[in-house]
Chain A
Amino acid sequence: MHLNGAPGHTSANRMRFRHSSLLLSLLSATLLFGAPLDALQREERAALALAATRTADAAGTTAKLEAVVTIQAGWHVNSHQPTFEYLIATELTVVVPDGWPAATVRYPEGVLRTFAFEKQPLSVYEGATTFPIELAIPANTPDGPRDVTVNLRYQACSDRICLPPVDTSATLALQVGAGGNAIVAARSGAEKATPAPPARGVAGMLLLAVLGGLILNLMPCVLPVLSLKVFGLVRSAGAGRRQITSGALATAAGILISFLALATAAVLARSAGSAVGWGIQFQNAGFVAFLAAVVMLFCLNLWGLFEIPLPSRLARFADQHQGDEGPAGHFASGLFATLMATPCSAPFLGSAVGFALGQTTPIIFTIFFAVGFGMALPYLSLAVFPGVARILPRPGAWMDTFKGLMGFLLAGAAIWLFYVLAAQLSTVRLALVQLVLLAMALCAWLLHRATPGGLARRAYGLLLLICAVAAPFVANAGQERIGADGGSANRTLAARDTQRLIDWQPWDEATEQRLLSEGKTVFVDVTADWCFTCKVNERLVLETPEIAAAFKNAGVVALRADWTNRNDMIGAYLARHGRFGIPFYLAHSPGQEPCVLTELLTKDAVLEALGARQAPRAITP
């Protein structure tokens, strides 16, 4: 209930008792209850930051400043032109040095948002909003810093409550003088970013992205491509250093280009307003079935049952090249490696890419590029040091054994894809998809045995193609797909956690709000079957006796949102908290701002998030 939780956290912030925590726990609950009519600290939901766009602005010119207002996730403020007259508009007033003309503030248009219980859309600001300010500096102003203060007045609401209007201000020392340089480009990325945990900078994420890309090479789906590629390069090149270099460079280029294409797709999708998130392609069962078909074909290829016409044959054709693959072939296999990386990228790169999608366009491109760079690193190093090739074992009969083993690795990847599909499809439909894939394998086998150039061969080839294309359709068609009605949450949750320690309740926004209004602390876990990091966190951190006990003691209600299948409510929820990918963990106590935890969860982080939110208990002598 609300009342039990309320006094602890509301008063604790205002309490400054030095001595024992016992005393604090006794007093904090009620000490200030009676203190009458004390002006309560206004809760701030927006932060104001000021930035100049030049290192110095000359007297007689117009200085351009930017005020960046960052509104907490889950909250909005009215725009400068609110939908209703009675609403308090967001207002910026600029206090200029004495004798300067008044500054002009340009207010961006508000975003039209419809909230759960309100039919009419409201014009609001959310996330980070930049207000350009223009300031004429009188010609006779001597050089030196001048204080410019911006006062911000706003009134914030969530989708259930409103907070009193707040006045806040920020001051900037504007440098007056000649010879300044533009600084906006260097700064804009960090400043305009949607709120992200500050500890996790862009630089750290770049490093993670490069590492993640590098690790992709070792994933079961990519390792076969990589290893065979490297050996292929060595074999085809013989001793020719130049050929090794150009082949490796072409492969690296293929990887990089495909990652930049992915970045472009992500930016376009975001600007089109669709829910972007890394790994959400896995919410489409058809896509997963398509990948399963590709993985299976490649697997058959490694087992010697099927010749992949792509990329080498097409490439040879494109290259007009006799003999082995040319640069275009290597380039195409780079593209292919990226495609093969997709099934494995979601679980490991979700965090970095999820972070990127919350950033500005240049940062999105930089991060995607970093992932591609990491993945291309082995090829790039081979290009720079072709001598490395000599260390590698010489090609020989062992390579057939190796190929066969790699085939089993890929078969493992296929099992993982079926595991994802199992959460999305009914048992019957999953079996149908698998039957289609089996038929495809049969065709591949028949194709392998057929006499070259015969009519039967063409027929088998055509049938194989039909099966491969049919698999996604079979997965997507029909009514018994679960997920569209939200029924999957229960099914997957129930099926998955047979030995769970924590009593997870299905999440939805209304449930969270209701629990909060009842004074309960909630812990939200957004997960999906295709999210490997989520699985690791759940197994190693959340589903442990320690955390289960902490949840129980603090009376925390554990809510789990399952994003295995498409769910716009979850997508919007993540976006409002500045995230575009999962894992996502949030601890939320009534009357407090929600605390979003890091993607790589630790027990300490969870305990801290809950510990800080635990209503103080009565004294324990």
Chain B
Amino acid sequence: MRTRSPYLLATLLLGGLLAHSATASGAAPEWITKVGPATAEAKRSGRPILVDLYASWCGWCKELDRQVYSTPRFQEYARKFVLLRVDTEDGGEGSALDARFEVESLPTTLVLSSDLMLIGKVEGFAPTEEYLGMIEAQLKDFLDYETKAQAALAGKDTAVQRSAAAEAHMRGDGKTAAALYRKLAVSGSVPPDIAGALQYMLADALRLAKDWDGAKTALNRATAEAERLHDADLLERSQMLAWNVAEDSGDCRGAKERVERFLRDHPQSTLVGRAKRALSELDKSAQCT
């Protein structure tokens, strides 16, 4: 759960960056290969995590390692990060990060906060200076985003709030996204025919913020709206989100029940494939057995 305000996070982040570049010692930074130790180290040191996503067959990943990561320039720069390296095809944590951040090509570099919020994403190989430039640009964009999100929350401009909400949601900053969606919902600027969709978005943002009860309440509203408007798509998607919320909150049996009900109620849905895959994943999950 995120407890710090975005401002605080930004301050910590910058502070961490400065402190660590100042106290740099001679040893080359080490790559951690497990998510848990990396987030723990990020929390402890206040540094963000730089994630190198790779696969064994990826030629440009090897070039990135050879031409960028092994340079003294990068190793010096990298002191402001916790370094995490994962194989996107390990069928475990690496694959999960790959899916969660919609990684479509390799190499991809992510910069994440200690609670796995997306700070930046760089796709592909680039020579050292260009690569570092892209990372820096992403960090700067993130600080801009934080300022923007705060201004959107404090202000009344609904257009600004909408775009800030979309970015917060995409970054996995569920708390900010949810706060913005809530403001939008009461602003009167949202047309009635998409009020249900807004509740759906709110539910998903709350799921990211791990506010399970809030997510369920918003989902109930979304479902009610979908039924009122006879909107089959929204209804099906809301039900899919409901099983995702259950699964994320650790309620494996509840999730399984919802998926099974979904398959019974909507055998013609375009989401049947997803439901079936989810069911087989849940069956394999240790919590369900």
**Chain A residues engaging chain B, CB cutoff 8 angstroms:** 1-4, 6-7, 10, 16-20, 22-23, 26-27, 29-31, 33-40, 43, 84, 86-88, 117-118, 122, 155, 157-158, 160-165, 510, 513-514, 517-518, 590-591, 617-621
Q: Which one, A33, A43, A118, A155, contacts B169 given CB within 8 A?
A: A33
Asked whether A162 lies within 8 Å of B277 as measured between CB atoms, the reply is no
Quick one: which of A2, A84, A617 has the most chain B CB within 10 A?
Answer: A2
Q: Which one, A18, A122, A517, contacts B123 given CB within 8 A?
A: A517
Q: Which one, B61, B130, B281, contacts A37 given CB within 8 A?
A: B281
Q: With the chains together, A1 CA to B123 CA distance in Å?
A: 12
Asked whether A36 lies within 8 Å of B100 as measured between CB atoms, the reply is yes
Min CB gap B243→A, angstroms? 10
Closest to B105 in A: A161
Asked whether B166 lies within 8 Å of A40 as measured between CB atoms, the reply is no
Asked whether A118 lies within 8 Å of B122 as measured between CB atoms, the reply is no
Asked whether A160 lies within 8 Å of B126 as measured between CB atoms, the reply is yes
Min CB gap B75→A, angstroms? 19
Asked whether B277 lies within 8 Å of A38 as measured between CB atoms, the reply is yes
Given A87-B57, A518-B137, A619-B194, are A30 and B166 neighbors across the interface (CB < 8 Å)? Answer: yes
User: Which chain B positions have C-beta within 8 A of A591?
Assistant: 104-105, 123
> Taking the complex as formed, is B65 at the interface, i.e. its CB lies under 8 A from any CB of chain A?
no
Q: With the chains together, A370 CA to B224 CA distance in Å?
A: 67
Q: With the chains together, A591 CA to B172 CA distance in Å?
A: 20
Closest to B174 in A: A34
User: Which chain B positions have C-beta within 8 A of A27?
Assistant: 197, 200-201
Q: List 13 A-B contacts (CB under 8 A).
A: A2-B138, A3-B171, A7-B170, A17-B234, A23-B194, A27-B200, A30-B170, A36-B100, A87-B59, A117-B126, A162-B106, A163-B104, A163-B105
User: Which chain B positions have C-beta within 8 A of A590?
Assistant: 123
Asked whether A161 lies within 8 Å of B123 as measured between CB atoms, the reply is yes
Contact mask B184-216 → A, CB, 8 Å, 1/0?
000001110110011011001001100000000
Asked whether A117 lies within 8 Å of B63 as measured between CB atoms, the reply is yes
> Taking the complex as formed, is B43 at the interface, i.e. its CB lies under 8 A from any CB of chain A?
no
> Taking the complex as formed, is B134 at the interface, i.e. its CB lies under 8 A from any CB of chain A?
yes
Asked whether A18 lies within 8 Å of B233 as measured between CB atoms, the reply is yes
> Taking the complex as formed, is B248 at the interface, i.e. its CB lies under 8 A from any CB of chain A?
yes
Q: With the chains together, A117 CA to B234 CA distance in Å?
A: 47
User: Which chain A positions have C-beta within 8 A of B270?
Assistant: 16
Closest to A41 in B: B104
User: Which chain A positions have C-beta within 8 A of B33?
Assistant: none
Asked whether B121 lies within 8 Å of A6 as measured between CB atoms, the reply is yes
Given A20-B194, A87-B59, are A162 and B105 neighbors across the interface (CB < 8 Å)? Answer: yes
Tell me if A's interface is mostly helix, strand, loop or mixed. Answer: loop
User: Which chain B positions have C-beta within 8 A of A518?
Assistant: 134, 137
> Taking the complex as formed, is B237 at the interface, i.e. its CB lies under 8 A from any CB of chain A?
yes
> Taking the complex as formed, is B227 at the interface, i.e. its CB lies under 8 A from any CB of chain A?
no
User: Which chain B positions have C-beta within 8 A of A514?
Assistant: 126, 130, 134
Q: With the chains together, A20 CA to B231 CA distance in Å?
A: 11
Q: With the chains together, A514 CA to B134 CA distance in Å?
A: 8
Given A160-B60, A161-B106, are A34 and B207 neighbors across the interface (CB < 8 Å)? Answer: yes
Tell me if B's interface is mostly helix, strand, loop or mixed. Answer: helix
Min CB gap A515→B, angstroms? 11
> Taking the complex as formed, is B244 at the interface, i.e. its CB lies under 8 A from any CB of chain A?
yes
User: Which chain A positions have C-beta within 8 A of B137?
Assistant: 1, 518
Top-7 shortest CB links A-B: A618-B162, A160-B124, A161-B124, A30-B169, A161-B105, A1-B141, A162-B58
Asked whether B102 lies within 8 Å of A40 as measured between CB atoms, the reply is yes
User: Which chain A positions have C-beta within 8 A of B87?
Assistant: none
Q: With the chains together, A37 CA to B248 CA distance in Å?
A: 12
Given A1-B141, A161-B105, A162-B105, are A35 and B274 neighbors across the interface (CB < 8 Å)? Answer: yes
Given A155-B57, A591-B104, are A26 and B67 neighbors across the interface (CB < 8 Å)? Answer: no
Closest to A514 in B: B130
Asked whether A22 lies within 8 Å of B201 as measured between CB atoms, the reply is no
Asked whether B124 lies within 8 Å of A517 as measured between CB atoms, the reply is yes
> Taking the complex as formed, is B16 at the interface, i.e. its CB lies under 8 A from any CB of chain A?
no
Asked whether B57 lies within 8 Å of A26 as measured between CB atoms, the reply is no
Asked whether B169 lies within 8 Å of A2 as measured between CB atoms, the reply is no
> Taking the complex as formed, is B18 at the interface, i.e. its CB lies under 8 A from any CB of chain A?
no
User: Which chain A positions have C-beta within 8 A of B56?
Assistant: 86
Given A30-B204, A38-B277, A514-B130, are A122 and B59 neighbors across the interface (CB < 8 Å)? Answer: yes
Interface residues of B in 261-278 (CB under 8 A from A): 270, 274, 277
> Taking the complex as formed, is B40 at the interface, i.e. its CB lies under 8 A from any CB of chain A?
no
Asked whether A3 lies within 8 Å of B59 as measured between CB atoms, the reply is no
Q: With the chains together, A10 CA to B237 CA distance in Å?
A: 18
Q: With the chains together, A17 CA to B196 CA distance in Å?
A: 13
Min CB gap A27→B, angstroms? 6
Q: With the chains together, A19 CA to B172 CA distance in Å?
A: 26
Min CB gap A302→B, angstroms? 57
User: Which chain B positions have C-beta within 8 A of A163?
Assistant: 104-106
User: Which chain B positions have C-beta within 8 A of A29?
Assistant: 166, 169-170
Closest to B58 in A: A162
Asked whether A621 lies within 8 Å of B57 as measured between CB atoms, the reply is no
Q: With the chains together, A31 CA to B232 CA distance in Å?
A: 16
Given A37-B281, A161-B105, A591-B105, 19 additional A-B pairs, CB 8 A: A3-B120, A19-B233, A23-B194, A26-B197, A26-B198, A26-B201, A31-B201, A35-B240, A36-B96, A37-B95, A86-B57, A88-B57, A160-B126, A161-B107, A161-B124, A162-B58, A164-B106, A590-B123, A617-B163
> Taking the complex as formed, is B242 at the interface, i.e. its CB lies under 8 A from any CB of chain A?
no
Closest to A618 in B: B162
Closest to B208 in A: A34
Asked whether B162 lies within 8 Å of A619 as measured between CB atoms, the reply is yes
Interface residues of B in 248-264 (CB under 8 A from A): 248
User: Which chain B positions have C-beta within 8 A of A620?
Assistant: 159
Min CB gap A13→B, angstroms? 11
> Taking the complex as formed, is B15 at the interface, i.e. its CB lies under 8 A from any CB of chain A?
no
User: Which chain B positions have C-beta within 8 A of A6?
Assistant: 102, 121, 170
Q: With the chains together, A6 CA to B118 CA distance in Å?
A: 13
Min CB gap A30→B, angstroms? 4
Q: With the chains together, A619 CA to B180 CA distance in Å?
A: 14
User: Which chain B positions have C-beta within 8 A of A38?
Assistant: 99, 274, 277
> Taking the complex as formed, is B167 at the interface, i.e. its CB lies under 8 A from any CB of chain A?
yes
Q: Which one, B104, B130, B193, B277, contacts A23 given CB within 8 A?
A: B193
Asked whether A2 lies within 8 Å of B124 as measured between CB atoms, the reply is no
> Taking the complex as formed, is B127 at the interface, i.e. its CB lies under 8 A from any CB of chain A?
yes
Asked whether A618 lies within 8 Å of B159 as measured between CB atoms, the reply is yes
Q: With the chains together, A290 CA to B105 CA distance in Å?
A: 50
Min CB gap A134→B, angstroms? 29
Asked whether A117 lies within 8 Å of B274 as measured between CB atoms, the reply is no
Contact mask B115-143 → A, CB, 8 Å, 1/0?
00010111111110010001001100100
User: Which chain A positions have C-beta within 8 A of B197?
Assistant: 23, 26-27
Asked whether B125 lies within 8 Å of A161 as measured between CB atoms, the reply is yes
Min CB gap B171→A, angstroms? 7
> Taking the complex as formed, is B279 at the interface, i.e. its CB lies under 8 A from any CB of chain A?
no
Min CB gap B128→A, angstroms? 11
